[in-house]
Structure 1
Amino acid sequence: MDLPFLVLVLTLVAFGLVMLYSASYAVALYRRNDAFAYIRPQLLFAAVGLIALYLASRVDYHIYHKLAWPMLGLSLVLLVVVLFMPEYNGCKRWIVLPGLGTLQPSEIAKFSVILTFSHIISLNHQRMKRFSVGVLPFAAILGVLAVLMLLEPHLSGTLLLFGIGAVLMFVGGTGMRWFALAGGLGAAAIAGAVILLPDLVPYAADRLSSWIDPFSDPLGDGHQTIQSLYAIGSGGATGLGLGNSRQKYLYVPEPQNDFIFSILCEELGFIGACLVILLFVLLLLRGAVIALRAPDKFGALLTVGFVVQVVMQAVLNMAVVTNTIPNTGISLPFFSSGGTSLMMLLGEMGIVLSVSRQGLQEKY
């Protein structure tokens, strides 16, 4: 398998676990009277995820042709089931599994979209310029998933799905004129969502207002952003030192999840933040190399989809914590607390390694 890619993945996992414990022990002690409440299950999920990575790297990735549609069906079922789950922070994004924790269907939806799109494109890549082949099936899949995710509501997950889908369609050969059409349809879809899903209007309006001027409501919608910016600014060039963050002591909400990058900036400073960004950039570049060396279209598309998902999600998370874009509630891959996300990510990286393994076998 591709050793540089594997080293990058393992480095991100190890770095993420260290930062998760540092960022989470204060809030874990406060909420659950256990400083290890977040890192303990994350270590277990990381171990299971690494096993999944190894197994996926040994399996012929062509088997996922057969799993594409069943996985999409499973995603749709789970996205419906989650709508009947209890709310957390005003959203319904997690299915409670008694004795096992929680399951986030949006993570499985991302995986299924990459599988399904790669499957369809690889079988029809010669006809991708046609609307009936290169646009219609993808628009239908994304449309159904988007409606279900907006009902949660999960705006960041919806945006990520559209971003992943657009990249795969572009790489797969969809005609550029259809992307212009998609822009118009997207605007119409937003207008339709405003009319049909009125609960989204105040939700989105509050997020937009707090983004433009978070200090107008420092104890309300702007609180997260303000505390995040304080943490980032406090870090300076070299940071306060690992474990020495002040903002994680119940100032920054969700320091173990969406805003872990702001704690990282405070403890490791600008240099530490640049190191994390560099790791994600190298992962993207190495993924591009693997995609170019892939034995076939299907392997190349899987690699592009999985790697772009990780990097795009990282970019969105960093943009949120720095207030570059409105707060959308999105986690930082490999760093944020979340068992479903970590296991799915590592399994996906295993598939990329499977593609790299077969690419190297054909080369030599």
Structure 2
Amino acid sequence: MTNSGTRRPAAGRAARRTPPEARPAGRERVRKKFRVFSIRSGMDLPFLFLVLVLLVIGLVMMFSASYAYAYYHFGNSYYFIIRQALFAVIGVGVMIFISYFDYHHLHKFAVPLLLLSFALLVLVRFMPPPSGAGGVHRWINLGPLGQFQPSEIAKFAVVLVFAHLISLNFSRMGTFRYGVLPYMLILGATDALLLWEPHISATVILTLIACVLLFIGGIKLRWFGVAFGAIGAGVAYLVLFTDDFSYANERLAGWLDPLSTWQTRQSLYAIGSGGLLGLGLGQSRQKYLYLPEPQNDFIFAIVCEELGFIGALIIIILFAMLVWRGISISLRAMDKFGMLLGIGI
């Protein structure tokens, strides 16, 4: 006998519910489409700590290395540190702002940013080179804001485009059409514009980054060797056997024979003077116009002179920890695009 007052079993009630995948998703799709920023930051605290520590050390050493040069050439010992501190504040602000940004939206900017970098690399070639730059065309003058190098935009643009294309064609990276040809064309065009400046170091760095991304992206080793062996041979020929890159030949000769160039010799004096514990912060002697432009490429020599072997080693360890943390974060990304973008940067 059926009891009409008996409650239906729970299974019966559950069967009438609409499965989550069958519910209307239009509002959710619209919300995700227009959500560029997340209310939660993706900031990694250990990474942020390392960045801030290195930033503070860098500002202190920048002031210590530059004040004599700045006073002699500009009449203001704070000339470099004021600008550097301003850019540091802006950089930290942008970093925090970007941490809320959904990086998947960068897909749509990959090709436009690459084309913009090409235009800037052509434009900079027709800009007058700064005094003391050796006749190379690497900087665009922004007046009171200083100068910037379009090559830095080109590096990020190539990383972004490579990450974009590899993530879209990951299953076809073993073929020549999808795994080699587009990357050869993009990298070849970018390297050609960088060599036109000329900017050898940026060309080498960009090519190495591209090789790493393609290796991680799954390119076959035979294509890898053929493509970038040809690019490397071309760059080596231009540098070693043409007159257009005589300054690069001089730098190479200076690297092979460090005592043959004044700047390298003075930097070695600075490193040797530091010893184990250094002369003390602010006590460098080589920065007093012995080492040309000590606040630039050779600032590490001043670090060694003032902080010694121990201080220099600590800074190297901090940078190594920063790189390791960045790679570990990238490897935990949600998708191939995020992983490749993080490792490339």
- Normalised TM-score (structure 2): 0.83
The residue aligned with 1:23 is 65
1:257 aligns with 2:296: yes
| 3-state secondary structure, aligned to 2:147 | strand
The residue aligned with 2:224 is 179
The residue aligned with 1:10 is 52
The residue aligned with 1:213 is 257
Aligned-CA RMSD value: 1.6
1:136 aligns with 2:181: yes
The residue aligned with 2:247 is 203
The residue aligned with 1:95 is 140
What CA distance in whole angstroms lies between the structure 2 residues aligned with 1:98 and 1:215? 37
What CA distance in whole angstroms lies between the structure 2 residues aligned with 1:85 and 1:224? 27
Asked whether the equivalents of residues 114 and 154 of structure 2 are also in contact (C-alpha less than 8 Å), the reply is yes
What CA distance in whole angstroms lies between the structure 1 residues aligned with 2:87 and 2:163? 27
The C-alpha deviation readout for 1:321-361, integer Å capped at 9, x for no partner, is: xxxxxxxxxxxxxxxxxxxxxxxxxxxxxxxxxxxxxxxxx
What CA distance in whole angstroms lies between the structure 1 residues aligned with 2:126 and 2:240? 23
Q: CA deviation at 1:214?
A: 3.5
The residue aligned with 1:82 is 124
What CA distance in whole angstroms lies between the structure 2 residues aligned with 1:112 and 1:161? 11
2:44 counterpart letter in structure 1? D
The C-alpha deviation readout for 1:109-153, integer Å capped at 9, x for no partner, is: 111111111111111111111111111111111111111111211
The residue aligned with 2:314 is 275
| 3-state secondary structure, aligned to 1:248 | coil
What CA distance in whole angstroms lies between the structure 2 residues aligned with 1:37 and 1:179? 46
Asked whether the equivalents of residues 194 and 202 of structure 2 are also in contact (C-alpha less than 8 Å), the reply is yes
Aligned mate of 1:115, from 157, 160, 164: 160
Identity %: 56
Asked whether the equivalents of residues 284 and 302 of structure 2 are also in contact (C-alpha less than 8 Å), the reply is yes
The residue aligned with 1:235 is 274
Q: CA deviation at 1:191?
A: 5.9
What CA distance in whole angstroms lies between the structure 1 residues aligned with 2:112 and 2:77? 40
| 3-state secondary structure, aligned to 1:24 | helix
| 3-state secondary structure, aligned to 1:199 | helix
1:260 counterpart letter in structure 2? I
61 and 26 in structure 1: CA distance in 2 versus 1, 3 angstrom threshold: same
1:163 aligns with 2:205: no
| 3-state secondary structure, aligned to 1:258 | coil
What CA distance in whole angstroms lies between the structure 2 residues aligned with 1:239 and 1:209? 29
1:152 counterpart letter in structure 2? E
- Normalised TM-score (structure 1): 0.79
2:158 counterpart letter in structure 1? V
Greater RCO (Cα-Cα under 8 Å, separation 6 or more)? 1
76 and 6 in structure 1: CA distance in 2 versus 1, 3 angstrom threshold: same
| 3-state secondary structure, aligned to 2:79 | coil
Equivalenced residues, count: 300
Structure 2, unaligned runs of 5 or more: 1-42
Aligned mate of 1:54, from 91, 96, 103: 96
| 3-state secondary structure, aligned to 1:20 | helix
Asked whether the equivalents of residues 286 and 302 of structure 2 are also in contact (C-alpha less than 8 Å), the reply is yes
191 and 269 in structure 1: CA distance in 2 versus 1, 3 angstrom threshold: closer
The C-alpha deviation readout for 1:21-76, integer Å capped at 9, x for no partner, is: 11111100011000011010111111111111011000101111111111111111
The residue aligned with 1:245 is 284
Q: CA deviation at 1:187?
A: 4.3
1:37 aligns with 2:66: no
| 3-state secondary structure, aligned to 2:141 | strand
1:99 counterpart letter in structure 2? P
187 and 54 in structure 1: CA distance in 2 versus 1, 3 angstrom threshold: closer
Q: CA deviation at 1:198?
A: 3.3
Asked whether the equivalents of residues 63 and 80 of structure 2 are also in contact (C-alpha less than 8 Å), the reply is yes
Structure 1, unaligned runs of 5 or more: 217-221, 307-364
What CA distance in whole angstroms lies between the structure 1 residues aligned with 2:79 and 2:73? 9
The residue aligned with 1:290 is 329
Aligned mate of 1:106, from 151, 155, 176: 151
The C-alpha deviation readout for 1:6-33, integer Å capped at 9, x for no partner, is: 1111111111111111111110001100
What CA distance in whole angstroms lies between the structure 2 residues aligned with 1:301 and 1:187? 23
